[in-house]
Structure 1
Amino acid sequence: MSIDPAVLVLEDGTRYPGRAYGATGRTLGEVVFATGMTGYEETLTDPSYAGQIVVMTAPHIGNTGVNGEDMESSRIWVSGYVVRDPSRVVSNYRATGSLDDQLVAEAVVGISGIDTRAVTRRLRDAGSMRGGIFSGTDAALDPESQLAIVREAGLMSGQNLSARVSTEVAYVVASTAGSIGRLAVLDLGVKTSTVNYLVARGFDVHVLPQSISIDDLLAIDPVAVFYSNGPGDPAASDDHVALLQAVLKHGLPFFGICFGNQLLGRALGFGTYKLPFGHRGINQPVIDVATGRTEITSHNHGFAVDAPIGVISDSPAGFGRVEVSHVNLNDNVVEGLNALDIPAFSVQYHPEAAAGPHDANYLFDRFRDMVLKSKDGK
């Protein structure tokens, strides 16, 4: 473990001195906290964390090392990593390396040896904010200079990060369960586990760049369209909203998760807003309004849809009746939308969560059933 000094600086001037972890240098981003006790490798490689410095509330990180099977994408996406006690040894038969070495290899600047629960309480009280990790020669900068660097960084609000995380070239993953047709997946930061669950439901998955046009999307003759999770502010994604509105007008079944839920909300004519500190972790309680069933779910989002809860409302964009299908039991945030007059629904959380929980995995079956019903009706 490194003994080199490092410091986490928040934009309100709060400072947390610690030790360098992973690569050394300087990194900036929105500081957020994740509450999962497991699944750190899935968190690190989730494209939805692009632009964010992630604080892990679980105190001991790195125990099981890293391996190629648990990665949700081809690389680590977090801007920085904050842990309390990095494991000094790797103890798992699946491990192919240590987390510390992987962070160094991918030039991810981190910090350890600080009270991550104290940082979390600060973020819960004041909200997510810009921050920076300074180590190596940057740790020697005077505090005023470090704070000025942090305050010059861009805000998450207004950022469109889809181009940073999306595939540049379309690719196809064939169904593993007997094909029911081509599924157009707009890659806004799609995770490997998402694709795996979709191909297991009989879809030939066509993963498409986020910049694709409606004509090119329709050219693959899809039976349905799926919008993935992803980073950034949904209010800055007008092109993706326009694309989705064109999809809905063509009558194609649609399913969106996380960022895809926010974009469906906007396509239906509702607004979005930034949450004070967001939902990140694998223990968020969500109620399915239709069944009254509570699900423990995985989240990673800092924005939410502003839609009326408890009533059936008319889509301001003219797509018929809409209901809020799921609600967060912690803070009453909209967690899902269901269009009643067109084949479209979405959830704000991650039914594909590879590290668990798997309470919401049934949503992929619901999507498959909706697509089959749509095909039978034509």
Structure 2
Amino acid sequence: MVDIKITRASVLKEKPASSTLVFGKSMTDHMFIADYDEGQGWHDPRIVPYGPLQIDPAAKVLHYAEEIFEGLKAYRTADGTIQLFRPLDNIARMNKSAERLCLPQIPEELALAGITELVKLERDWVPHEEGTSLYIRPFMIGTDPALGVHSSHHVQYIVIVCPVGAYYPEGLAPVKIYVESEDVRAVKGGTGMAKTGGNYAASLRAGDRAEKQGYSQVLWLDGVHRKYIEEVGAMNVMFKVNGKILTPDLNGSVLDGITRRSCIQLLKDWGYEVEERRISYEELFQAAEDGTLEEAWGTGTAAVVSPIGELAMEGKKVTISGNQIGELTQKLYDNLTGIQWGRLADPHNWIMKL
């Protein structure tokens, strides 16, 4: 049992109406913090009023990007129960990211307590409306107050939460994707398998270029051959080709997505053959041209699944599933969200009730 000191905010914020929720904008009244010092380990777990962090201007996180994070959600079911979806998987992945970024391993019990106790305290912030949830952002930062490239001896683990609206308020509309051939997101041996801010900063330029051309996201290619599919935007990606499911393998530069894992399990439950392997963009465009590319979608915590209706690269465009959400994409979305919001059975014990 983790003994957490709680200091309550003296003034509580006005909670926003669900209809006005914008992702990542409305933070709650409190946050969780725990400190790590080399030789002492993790200590002083506490929930305090939400507010600015006080760190030294020379802190490692500001100069050398020694930072990792996770993303998960709390859902309110029809009977008012609040539940989490696969939180232990997020914690295990955070520790893998920590190992890659030379940050300390955090005990599962402490990391989970920071999430669950904060959500319990902020339970009134978990919205009731269909499709809404409480987004949870655990993160870890190196705070050594000294310049010089080496791992931090002083670290903080922090959890913040915010209510979010339905990702698709008007339904799941397919998005247009541009295959990025200049910039790369990550390379094998780098930090692509870790959930760290630098990966996302490296994606911004290509994302801006794609948006100016009318595309929602970029489809990333590998950094060596510049031909094999890796991720789409900030999500994993899957394709239904001639009845079979294809998805890039976890080769060291692709994030091991929790939603990706969940989709693969459901697809196998339903009898689909799932191939995790290298997939070239030429293979995809050829499948689109010969009619065997039946559906495509991204997978991630925020959107669950995001249908892809068009792929474009260097002036060449192909339409997928008639630019409509595919039957299997819709089924995945309905089943995953059904489990998350407690409308469907949870055969794999993915849900943790609070």
Query: TM (normalized to structure 1)?
Result: 0.30
